[in-house]
Amino acid sequence: MNTLNNFLFIALPYIAIVVFLVGNIYRYVSTQFTYSSLSAQFLEDKQGFWGTVPFHIGILMLFLGHLAIFLFPEATLAWNSNPVRLIIHEGIAFTFGLTVLIALIGLMLRRLFNKRLRVVTSKMDIVIELLLLTQVILGCWIALGYRWGTSWFAADLTPYLWSIFQFDPQIQAVSALPLVIKLHIVGAFVIVLIFPFTRLVHFLVAPIHYLWRPYQVVIWYWDKQKIRKSSTAWTSHRPQNN
Amino acid sequence: MDIRSQISMVFHLDKCIGCHTCSIACKNIWTDRKGAEYMWWNNVETKPGTGYPGKWEDQLIYKGGWEKQDNVLSLKGAGKRKGLSNIFHNPNMPVIDDYYEPFTYKYLDLIESPAGDDQPTARPVSLITGDPIDIKMGPNWDDDLSGSPDYARKDPNLANLSPAEQEAMFQLERMAFFYLPRICNHCLNPACVASCPSGAIYKRGEDGIVLINQNECRAWRMCVTGCPYKKSYYNWHSGKSEKCILCYPRIEAGHAPACMHSCVGRIRYLGVILYDADKIEAAALADEANLIDQQLDILQDPFDPEVIESAKQNGVADSTIRAAQFSPVYKFVKKWGMALPLHAEWRTLPMLFYVPPLLPVMASLSEVDNTEQAAKMGDIAKHWDDNWLYDTSTEELWGSIEQARFPLQYMANLFSAGDTEKVKTVIKKLMAVRIYRRWKTVGDISEEKSNETLQQAGLTASTAEDIYYLTSLAKFDDRFVIPAAHREQAIEMLEDTGDKKGSAGFGFKEGTARRGP
Ligand code: SF4
Ligand code: SF4
């Protein structure tokens, strides 16, 4: 049991993080062409709307929620100390969980029954879809069966996750958790692990920089002004072969 | 003054015969690939008609291009706020069925079917799913279908024509149509570039060609909405958007783009235009009434010493400036004022200009008594019991323009943002050149009349000769004046081309072991 816990909560997260970093950077540098959201809206528009919008908003909120508790455990506990606020917090989180669950099932059925979409569905898409589905089901189950997750996440899991990043993994608390929660944690690491091999990479290249970029983009291949004069021809770029 | 150079184009619509050779040339070179089968970077549509993708001009549906509100220019259906908030699902995007489902035929069945009682057939199959389909649409499904209820009468450009005008336009006896070949306009204020959240689309500084960096495109699909001409396409297989590249590899090598090179009607002209980048903003924000004037005002006279000086300061090569001086585009657009941008009201400042067609306008129909004529014909001669005369005579000088088979408003909606005077000026010029040449060659028109027409259209005999030459006789090198790309300068930026003298020449740069590096 101990070995298994050690593997799942110490080895696995490190492997996942290393693969995540190396994999994503390597893929970005070597085959950037594969970085795409691979949107299927062009082939199926109307049903997709009801799946993809709630899914994306929901999963983004869940991700940010988990991230917030990881980053600000004290603030979370302080907020949750009032029962009304705790229930609101849990309620919102659960609603997003449910949203994602329903949307994911909808998107899966859409892929299943639309021949055009099956053509653009890869094996990895199915793997990641099932993984996310399991993860959301477990998450909802935990929210209902092991209350109050937002609080014990902050109290038990945040220190564990931090200990990983501080290279001093403390797994006592995690090892003692019920199986469902353990599965949820392991599922998260597995997603991080296979992330670079899936279409999820488009999350990493979300176009935030659009906000501060000027609308028009003009690229000059070379600085003709300089190249016209022999005195300045090679001042901005040094020729690369000597 | 900030003078830059732009590869720009003119399509002479009177000459287009609607043969689609251009589309095929383009398809064979660039879009004969999985996911791109449905794309026609060059397409030819019949006007009036709905075009490809269906009703692409209806910006109430597709929300393409720019709109001006309170002196601020914003993208109609994309942009920072709208684009990013719709990133999970783009509500204004055309989908595959708005274009058509690409198909092929199972030709192999013709050869491999076992012997039987019936002829084998080649069934159409979808190029997406591979399943047999009933073909419902194609890229030129409205070809020649003027007057048809499903296509011609749904043309968005008819919106501001009165029902009576529309009816008159589609009377069987008066019906006319013309072809509108379209490629990406390589705009000066491209909406596709502005709408791309990734910043993957860019305009090349040197020649103004608009390209999509395939490595940076992330399939946010906003350019498909942004471009009001629907000339950015989403490749459903690769998950990248693609568009016309103006055959830049050919242009850099001094060849005309494939669609232009292969054009059977020789309707296409390509050349350099020098423009003043400082004027772009004002032109994009011009009032409705000045749209055309201000857009054409950006384009500068390549003989003006000031323009040349500023161009040189910006590093425009002498050879490019010379190309601009010989540019057929400059002649048609600026010198003669005969070419207009398509749908200037979308404010992308398109750099493809059209000489509007004269033919569907020119002839008029008059009612005549045909009984005498019919009586002369024998029993076997086929004749119709109608009394219409298709009148192409030039008796009434501008009469046929006013009573044109096509309401001028329709032409104006396409080519001059609704301003009928602008198209009328151009059509008068076309007509004047025609009358002038008719005096010269056929001789059934008097010299005085020909001179009068020219004068009224604001042309001289020698200009008319020039226009006639470039319209009808122009050789390849007159139609395509392509500036040198000066790749050698780009190479010199990266490599010192002198320092490898005497080392291994081709493909690699290491010295030999004996001689050392
Ligand atoms: S025509 Fe469309 S795709 Fe081409 S440059 Fe203009 S906005 Fe972009
Ligand atoms: S090849 Fe030329 S003439 Fe033929 S359809 Fe295209 S533009 Fe028109």
C-beta atoms of B93 and A45 within 8 A: yes
3-state helix, strand, coil in chain B (%, to 5): 35, 15, 50
Phi, psi of B482 (to 5 degrees): -105, 125
pLDDT at B167: 84
> Cα separation of B358 and B434, whole Å?
10
Q: Is residue A129 part of a domain?
A: yes
Q: How far is the CA of B34 from the centre of ligand 1 (A)?
A: 23
Contacts of A226 in chain B (CB under 8 A): 315
Residue of B126, B493, B503 to mutate, interface with A, max A Cβ within 10 Å = B493
Q: What is the pLDDT of residues B94-136, one digit of tens each?
A: 999 999 999 999 999 999 999 999 999 999 999 999 999 999 9
**Which residue does chain A place closest to B78, by CA atoms?**
A215
- Whose structure tokens read 């390209």? B211
Q: Is residue A105 part of a domain?
A: yes
Angle of the B447-457 helix axis to the B420-441 helix axis, nearest 10:
160
The tokens of B152 are what?
């011609």
pLDDT at A242: 36
- Which one of B80, B128, B219 has the shortest CB-CB distance to A119? B128
DSSP secondary-structure letter at B447?
Answer: H
pLDDT at A240: 46
- Whose structure tokens read 């528009």? A45
Residue of B218, B225, B320 to mutate, interface with A, max A Cβ within 10 Å = B218
Q: What is the pLDDT of residues A17-76, one digit of tens each?
A: 999 999 999 999 999 999 999 999 999 999 999 999 999 999 999 999 999 999 999 999
Q: Is residue B256 part of a domain?
A: no
> Cα separation of A238 and B188, whole Å?
32
C-beta atoms of B205 and A219 within 8 A: yes
- Mark residue B130 as left, alpha or beta (left: phi above 0; alpha: psi -120 to 50; beta: remaining): left
Here the CATH number for the domain that contains residue A209 is 1.20.950.20
For B508, residues 6+ apart whose C-beta sits below 8 A from its C-beta are none
C-beta atoms of A32 and B316 within 8 A: no
Contacts of B218 in chain A (CB under 8 A): 35-37, 202, 205, 207
For residue B197, give the amino acid letter: P
- Chain A CB within 8 Å of residue B230 CB: no
Q: Is residue A183 part of a domain?
A: yes
Per the DSSP assignment, residues forming a β-bridge with B340 are: B354
Contacts of B496 in chain A (CB under 8 A): 234, 239, 241-242
Q: Which of B144, B183, B267, B355 to mutate to test the pocket of ligand 2 (most atoms within 8 A of CB)?
A: B267
Residues in chain B, pLDDT under 70? 173, 361-367, 373, 381-403, 489-517
> Cα separation of A157 and A185, whole Å?
9
> Cα separation of A103 and A88, whole Å?
22
**Rounded to the nearest 10 degrees, how much is the dihedral formed by the CA atoms of B475, B479, B483, B484?**
-40
Domain count across chain B = 1
Q: Is residue A242 part of a domain?
A: no
Q: How far is the CA of B181 from the centre of ligand 2 (A)?
A: 7
A169 neighbors A5 (Cβ within 8 angstroms) = no
Find the domain containing B360 and state its range: 356-459
Ligand 1 contact via B457 beta carbon (within 6 Å): no
pLDDT at A232 over 80: no
> Cα separation of B252 and B206, whole Å?
11
Ligand 1 contact via B151 beta carbon (within 6 Å): no
What does each C-alpha distance from B351 to B190, B263, B344 come to in angstroms? 10, 19, 10
Domain count across chain A = 1
User: Which ligand is closest to the CA of B228, given by its number?
Assistant: 1
Q: Is residue A71 part of a domain?
A: yes
Neighbours of B269 (CB within 10 A): 29
pTM of the model: 0.90
pLDDT at B202: 95
Q: Is residue A135 part of a domain?
A: yes
Here the CATH number for the domain that contains residue B370 is 1.10.3650.10
Ligand 2 contact via B10 beta carbon (within 6 Å): no
Contacts of A234 in chain B (CB under 8 A): 492-493, 496
Q: Is residue B409 part of a domain?
A: yes
- Which one of A42, A210, A242 has the shortest CB-CB distance to B236? A42
> Measuring CA to CA, which residue among B240, B440, B354 is closest to residue B8?
B354
Ligand 1 contact via B201 beta carbon (within 6 Å): no
User: Which ligand is closest to the CA of B44, given by its number?
Assistant: 2
Q: Is residue B299 part of a domain?
A: no
Cα angle: B164, vertex B384, B165; to 5 degrees: 10
For A177, residues 6+ apart whose C-beta sits below 8 A from its C-beta are A156, A185
Neighbours of B312 (CB within 10 A): 16
For B228, residues 6+ apart whose C-beta sits below 8 A from its C-beta are B57, B59, B62, B64, B65, B76, B191, B343, B346, B348
Q: Is residue A48 part of a domain?
A: yes
Contacts of B88 in chain A (CB under 8 A): 52-53, 55-57
Q: Is residue B383 part of a domain?
A: yes
Question: Complex ipTM, two decimals?
Answer: 0.89
C-beta atoms of A221 and B205 within 8 A: yes
Q: In B76-169, which ranges are E strands? A: 103-105, 124-126
> Measuring CA to CA, which residue among B191, B162, B163 is closest to residue B62?
B191
Contacts of A40 in chain B (CB under 8 A): 236
Side-chain half-sphere of A152: how many Cα atoms within 13 Å?
Answer: 12
What is the DSSP annotation of B217-250? -----HHHHH-TT--EEEETTTTEEEE--TTHHH
Report helix, strand or coil for B4.
strand
- Whose structure tokens read 């970093």? A21
> Cα separation of A241 and B495, whole Å?
6
Q: Is residue B439 part of a domain?
A: yes
Average pLDDT over residues A151-179: 91
Q: How far is the CA of B22 from the centre of ligand 2 (A)?
A: 5
Find the domain containing A136 and state its range: 2-227
Q: Is residue A31 part of a domain?
A: yes
Q: How far is the CA of B207 from the centre of ligand 1 (A)?
A: 15
Q: What is the pLDDT of residues B168-198, one digit of tens each?
A: 888 876 788 999 999 999 999 999 999 999 9
Neighbours of B91 (CB within 10 A): 12
Q: Percent of chain B scored above 70 by pLDDT?
A: 87
Q: Is residue B438 part of a domain?
A: yes
pLDDT at B306: 96
3-state secondary structure chain A: CHHHHHHHHHHHHHHHHHHHHHHHHHHHHHCHHHCCCCCCCCCCCHHHHHHHHHHHHHHHHHHHHHHHHHHCHHHHHHHHCCHHHHHHHHHHHHHHHHHHHHHHHHHHHHHHHCHHHHHCCCHHHHHHHHHHHHHHHHHHHHHHHCCCHHHHHHHHHHHHHHHHHCCCCCCHHHHCCCHHHHHHHHHHHHHHHHHHHCHHHHHCCCCHHHHCCCCCCEECCCCHHHHCCCCCCCCCCCCCCC
Residue of B33, B72, B198 to mutate, interface with A, max A Cβ within 10 Å = B198
> Cα separation of B245 and B182, whole Å?
13
- With 0-12 / 13-18 / 19 or more C-beta atoms within 10 angstroms meaning exposed / middle / buried, residue B448 is exposed
Q: How far is the CA of B339 from the centre of ligand 2 (A)?
A: 17
Helix spans in B105-178 (H): 108-112, 163-169
- Which one of A48, A52, A218 has the shortest CB-CB distance to B205? A218
B93 neighbors B225 (Cβ within 8 angstroms) = yes
